[in-house]
Amino acid sequence: MKKFLNYLLLFALVVAISELLFGYAIFQKLNKDKQNNYYSSIYKVGRYLYVGYKMSFPYIEKLDNSGGVYPVNLKKKLLGSDYIVGDNIYITKNPYKDGYKFHPFIDFTNAHGHHNFDNDFFGYRNRFDYGKANDKNEFRILMTGGSECAGHSHNLPISFLLEKNLREHYSSQIRVLNFCMNGYTLPYEIQTFVHLGWTLEPHLVISHTGWNDAFQFPFMPETFGKLGLTYALLQEEWMDILYSLETSEVFELKKKGYDSLIRNYNQEMFIDSIKKTLKKYNKLVNSSGSDFLIGIQPWNTRPHTKAVPRGKFREMLYANVEMLKNQADYFKMNVINFAKNNAKYQFKDDSIHTTPASAQLIADEYFLYIKENYNDKIASIINLEN
């Protein structure tokens, strides 16, 4: 009897394993037929677990994916989603999940950071359908800036927190769009607004800015500096890849430290370039029918382990941001100078990225400014009584 039970158990085990193998074979055949690839079922498990993340933002409504909302980018492809005709191939066909991605009209894209978050059709940290018409009863705010504004160290970036504040105070008919990107200086912010932001008809554009321009300016050739065309040095590193030539020395020079890369020591030229570029941005925004607000971002004044290495470059960087902090209130534009209260904010052990609590403080200050200056306008747009 015991022997019979052992054989029966063995038979049942063989049947169960066969069932699993046949089922997995059918699963892979369906993948091949429908998606022309083979995916491990583990990716499907990951996909279902990942859905829980999207529920972290209850104040952002779910949007359909037909008009160019991914909440996806390359992460969606890795998790086994179907190919969508009309994909942005600069996002989905890029072999790298993280880091910067080349993109026409905006130079580079793909917001990234410490948290695993979703990006939209063009690589910005939104869940937004570019294919939908603008809602006439929706008050829209557009934010541009660098990695701090994009939310490099935040599970909920400043733009999300600001939107949450505004929706709780007014209604869900308020949207704050995050067009911030790792590494962006003011010229990149401007082209993002021109090519993507303009057609969204925002009522207010916020540039949360300062650090990246101060950081990159010493590396700029003089003519670029005079014209206010401060670009990200990482683009020089692409020269070798673009032309298959040893055209860029940035890789080698970086090994020697930032001091070896300095081209421009003119601090007065830096502040003039900032004024010139902000004035240009302000005029463009105003000509679109929107208002413009500058937020001079704070930086870390406490000792931290990921500090910029000591040397001439570090001296120039901090001289630049100090000058920006001291002159920003005289720009004859609308400015919130967060840098004047640097000690108020906590940072994630580097020079510029704030903690979640400090991101909330920044969002709260933007909220108070908007409530004070746009209360009547918001009420009229979203059909609320004062």
- Comparing CA positions, the residue from 202, 160, 154 lying closest to residue 182 is 154
In a domain, 386, yes or no: no
Do 162 and 15 fall into the same domain? no
Do 19 and 156 fall into the same domain? no
CA–centroid distance for 382 within its chain: 27
Grouping H, G, I as helix, E, B as strand and the rest as coil, residue 174 is strand
Taking only the tens place, the pLDDT of each residue in 237-264 is 887 777 766 656 666 666 678 898 999 9
In a domain, 325, yes or no: yes
pLDDT at 352 over 90: yes
Do 183 and 312 fall into the same domain? yes
b (16+ CB within 10 A) / e for 361-379: bbbebbbebbeeebeeebe
Classify 80 in phi/psi space as left (phi over 0), alpha (psi -120 to 50) or beta: left
In a domain, 191, yes or no: yes
Taking only the tens place, the pLDDT of each residue in 261-297 is 999 999 999 999 999 999 999 999 999 999 999 999 9
Percent of the chain having pLDDT more than 90?
57
Q: What is the per-residue DSSP string for 177-195?
A: EE---TT--HHHHHHHIII
Do 16 and 138 fall into the same domain? no
Provide the 10 A C-beta neighbour count for residue 38. 10
CB–CB of 123/183 below 8 Å? no
In a domain, 169, yes or no: yes
In a domain, 89, yes or no: no
b (16+ CB within 10 A) / e for 251-280: eebeeeebbebeebebeebbbebbbebbee
Mean of per-residue pLDDT scores for the chain:
83
Do 33 and 138 fall into the same domain? no
How far apart CA 102 and CA 105 sit, in angstroms, is: 10
Do 373 and 244 fall into the same domain? yes
pLDDT band at 9 (very low <50, low <70, confident <90, very high): confident
- Comparing CA positions, the residue from 217, 141, 153, 157 lying closest to residue 186 is 217
Domain boundaries, position 18: 2-38
Taking only the tens place, the pLDDT of each residue in 32-79 is 554 445 555 555 545 444 444 444 443 334 333 333 333 333 344 434
Amino acid at 182: N
Residue 324's pLDDT is 97
Do 167 and 291 fall into the same domain? yes
Do 219 and 357 fall into the same domain? yes
In a domain, 142, yes or no: yes
Residue 27's pLDDT is 64
In a domain, 287, yes or no: yes
Do 11 and 158 fall into the same domain? no
Do 248 and 370 fall into the same domain? yes
In a domain, 71, yes or no: no
The domain tally of the chain equals: 2
Between these two residues, 209 and 238, which has the higher pLDDT value?
Answer: 209
Tell me how far CA of residue 6 lies from CA of 10, 16, 121, 345, in angstroms.
6, 15, 58, 68
Provide the 10 A C-beta neighbour count for residue 236. 17
Q: For residue 158, give the CATH number of its domain.
A: 3.40.50.1110
